[in-house]
Copies of this chain bind each other. A is one copy, B any other.
């Protein structure tokens, strides 16, 4: 583990698999897609970006790309085939559920919709599993972002210079239990606990919005102004490792600081950390701990 802690994400990952085949990034929102694109570029891996309209970071236009939306997935298939791309990585958040009323469907779209609609009515996992299955049925291989860039995966143990303080352990235990049970509901990946109290649970709003809520509840005196509490983010039990893994990054640290938390625990080997050097530097500077934790183990005191 010492090696994992000392690895430098600014260098090509020593243990990154040699990816010589071109790969397509299906890019939703957030910082992960651009970070992975930059890393692949630095390593000389050829790639193509399918930017999800309204979600993907416009900076991705710097790379070979196309804009996509659910109403025109057929065009994506053609673009990938023209580039002889057989490997796909899906990453980043998708804000909206496609609004079926806005479709002007063609035959390909209808065929896709027919497969997606039952999934649209269930939780996130079902939708993403349906998309993966659909891509695989078209002959594509779907990989996880961490398979292309292993430094993205959160290792087990302390990541920054700050240990888990004794006063955070009660909240950490409460939040780990809360996030585990929340995940079982396929509702969200993240919770915040302060002391023995679960004060925020992530639903459709996402982690950053949940942390902003905690900051707001502090500002109106509904939660104590005193710094305390932790963010825990876990992979949901049924969640495919290849898509929508829980992710932390510099923005998460910024929101956690504004929410006056003591630190962040992410699912070891089951969550992503975007731009680990910047994330850890921000946490270190603010006095926050960042750890990778296996919630099934209890080798830390509750």
Contacts and interface: CB of A to CB of B under 8 A. Distances in A.
Contacts of A95: 220-222
B188 A201 contact: yes
A224 interface: yes
A192 B203 CA distance: 9
Contact of A198 (B187, B192, B222, B226): B187
Contacts of A222: 95-96, 204-205
Given A95-B222, A185-B181, A221-B96, A205 B200 contact: yes
Interface string A263-281: 0000000000000000000
A223 interface: yes
A217 interface: yes
Contacts of A196: 121-123, 126
Contacts of A192: 203
Contacts of A204: 197, 199-200, 214, 217, 222-223
Nearest to A223: B204
In this complex, which of A184, A200, A203, A204 has the most chain B Cβ atoms within 10 angstroms of its Cβ?
A203
B225 A99 contact: yes
A99 B224 contact: yes
Interface in A174-230: 177-178, 181-182, 184-188, 192, 195-205, 213-214, 217, 220-226
Q: How many chain copies does the complex carry?
A: 2
A226 to B, nearest CB: 8
Chain A interface, >50% SS class: loop
Contacts of A217: 204-205
Interface string A249-274: 00000000000000000000000000
A57 interface: no
A198 B186 contact: yes
Nearest to A188: B201
B195 A185 contact: no
A195 B123 CA distance: 9
A203 B200 CA distance: 5
Contacts of A223: 97, 204
A147 interface: no
A202 to B, nearest CB: 8
25 contacts: A95-B220, A95-B222, A97-B224, A99-B226, A120-B195, A121-B170, A121-B195, A121-B197, A122-B196, A122-B197, A123-B196, A123-B198, A178-B187, A181-B181, A181-B184, A182-B201, A187-B198, A188-B201, A192-B203, A197-B204, A199-B204, A201-B203, A204-B214, A205-B213, A205-B222
Given A178-B187, A204-B217, 6 more contacts: A95-B220, A120-B195, A121-B170, A123-B196, A200-B203, A204-B214
